[in-house]
Amino acid sequence: MPRPRSSRRRKPQAPPQPVVLDNFCNGRMLAWYAIQQFDQTGKFLSDVLNDVDRRHDLSPQERAQAVDLSAGVVRHRRSLDTLIERLVTRPRGNVETELWTLLQMGTWQLVFARTPDHAAVDSIVELARTAGQDRWCGFVNGILRSVSRLLTEETTDQPSSSSIPIQAGQYRVLTEDAFPVPGEDTVEYTGRAWSLPRAIARRWSSRMSPFELQRACFYSNEPPATVLRINRLKATVGQVVSALEERGMATTPGVNDWSLRVTGGGGGLRQWPGYEEGWWSVQDESAMGAAELLAPQPGERILDLCAAPGGKSAHLAELSGDAATIIACDVSEVRLRRVTQNSERLGLASVEPVLIERDGSDLPAGPFDAVLVDVPCSNTGVLARRPEARWRFREADLEELVQLQTRLLLNAFDLVRPGGRIIYSTCSIEPEETTGLIASVTSAIAALNCVEQTMQLPGDPVDGAFRAHLRRDGSAAG
């Protein structure tokens, strides 16, 4: 006879509590924390890691591992999810967020870091155990071992549904199909294989050639090089190369004559040769193009409208021999302090930081010989350096950004003298923020002419960027 059902009701299970991480015992634990903080608050990973540096005593190597692992997971998470979702039978919503992050971390180690299978799996299982989540250990172990069985050591230079892009035009071959067929749905394949939100994948696929798209996607997923801009007023390129190589650091010439790419640097930048002496600054090679296009001259009065943290203001000062007047504006007092600190370290006297209101009601009085407008933007050209930016991208936000960018450009027009020049610069490659905005503003203002504009896609050969050289007519009329 069937057993009669008990009349006792089961006690409802309490919902799982969020995992609190405050024991930063190794780089992986710190990376787990940084990723969770990004997911919960939207803060950039670098800001999270800097905030907690005083709360741990990890070695530089462990700290570097936290940077690589957290950035790698955030950068590749849609590709990682595509692999993991094939192996997890329960709905994604039924897996705790912190547990899913652990699976992403383990999968990234297996696929991209080429961590040996046993080390990758065991390290993530141990993280769960250290966090007091023993109940996760079997699940994590099983899923990550299944991921390892998807992977081969073979590579190819051709995209397919059974390979995953890893680096420099190379794809790692899988044991079975995991991604959409590249030729059948370019947008979905691009988004999943190269870990882009659908909106960016659709936009890039619609306007880039297959070669440009592949190059931009590979570049956007590569860990960025550390690039130094040499302060020509303090040092030579050869002097910096010698000092770095004596420390065991390798250098290669950058795209710009006064830039160097550096590998093998241990410890923080402040410990590198030449930092305290002001011999160099860290700056992306594409970002150097804005000041070079403006070509500041001694004696000129120049406005840097969105200056913080001060890299472009300093570059303008260096290019002018520290003999121009650089008015460096920003709306953040904290960020403006970095402009002052950078200028003092580099030994520059021509940079004058000025705090302004967000509505621009108290901008410094013109006229200026030149204005640099390096606008806030969607950052789609620098996804390699800002891996979080791809997940922050919202097409609905573009309208508000374009309104701000337009207002800043109009402010620049009002402040530049007749015959003066404006450099509009952005690290976005989206038409609304670049070519479309310049066309709209110049069509509305007859006295503002576009002399030249340049769109640089990611990987061509450095970060993506857009620059426009604009001139105000010699007459005072607008």
- Residue 28 to residue 129: CA distance in whole angstroms: 13
CA-based Rg of the chain, rounded to a whole angstrom? Answer: 25
Domain count, the chain: 3
pLDDT of residue 477: 43
The answer to whether position 249 is within a domain reads: yes
* 125 and 264 together in one domain: no
Q: Which of 263, 282, 301 is the last residue of a domain?
A: 282
Residue 205 lies in a domain: no
Domain match, 268 and 301 both: no
302 within a domain of the structure (yes/no)? yes
**DSSP line for 315-379:** HHHHHTTT-SEEEEEES-HHHHHHHHHHHHHHT--SEEEEE--TT-TTPPP--EEEEEEE-----
Per-position b or e across 16-55, b if 16+ CB within 10 A of its CB: eeebebeebebbbbbbbbbbbbbbeeeebbeebbeebeee
CATH number at residue 153: 1.10.940.10
Predicted local confidence at residue 18, as pLDDT: 57
Same domain? For 277 and 175 the reply is no
Name, in order, each residue with C-beta under 8 angstroms of 322's C-beta and a sequence gap of 6 or more: 233, 348, 349, 350
- In this structure, are 271 and 348 located in the same domain? no
Whether 154 maps to a domain, the answer reads yes
What is the DSSP code string of 371-401?
A: EEEE-----GGGTTT-TTHHHH--HHHHHHH
How many other C-beta atoms can be found within 10 angstroms of the C-beta atom of residue 420? 23
Last residue of a domain, one of 141, 163, 179: 179
| CATH number for the domain harbouring residue 439 | 3.40.50.150
Beta-sheet strands, E only, within 149-245 = 151-156, 163-167, 170-174, 226-230
What pLDDT was estimated at residue 267?
67
Q: Same domain, yes or no, for 135 and 260? A: no
Residue whose structure tokens are 């770095």: 244
d(C-alpha 459, C-alpha 261), whole Å:
15
User: How is residue 153 written in tokens?
Assistant: 């050591």
Please indicate, yes or no, if residue 62 is contained in any of the structural domains.
yes
Q: Which of 214, 249, 282 is the last residue of a domain?
A: 282
Could you give phi then psi for residue 463, rounded to 5 degrees?
-65, 155
Q: Are residues 274 and 362 in the same domain?
A: no
What letter represents residue 437's amino acid? L
Judgement on whether residues 135 and 261 belong to the same structural domain of the protein: no
Instruction: For the chain, 478 residues long, give each residue's pLDDT as a single digit of tens.
Output: 444 444 444 444 445 555 656 678 899 999 999 999 999 999 999 999 999 988 888 888 899 999 999 999 999 999 999 999 999 999 999 999 999 999 999 999 999 998 999 999 999 999 999 999 999 999 999 999 999 999 999 999 999 999 999 998 999 999 999 999 998 999 999 999 999 999 999 999 999 999 999 999 999 999 998 999 999 999 999 999 999 999 999 999 999 999 999 987 666 788 899 999 999 999 999 999 999 999 999 999 999 999 999 999 999 999 999 999 999 999 999 999 999 999 999 999 999 999 998 888 899 999 999 999 999 999 999 999 999 999 999 999 999 999 999 999 999 999 999 999 999 999 999 999 999 999 999 999 999 999 999 999 999 999 999 999 999 998 644 4
**15 lies in some domain:** no
245 and 339 assigned to the same domain: no
What whole-number distance in Å separates Cα of residue 106 and Cα of residue 256?
A: 38
Residue 297 lies in a domain: yes
Same domain membership, residue 268 and residue 388: no
pLDDT at 24: 83
Asked if residue 217 is part of any domain, the answer here is no
231 and 323 inside one domain: no
Q: Are residues 109 and 245 in the same domain?
A: no
Q: The CATH number of the domain where 252 resides is what? A: 3.30.70.1170
The partner residues of 54 in beta bridges, in order of sequence, read none
Q: Which domain holds residue 275?
A: 226-282
Q: Are residues 97 and 54 in the same domain?
A: yes
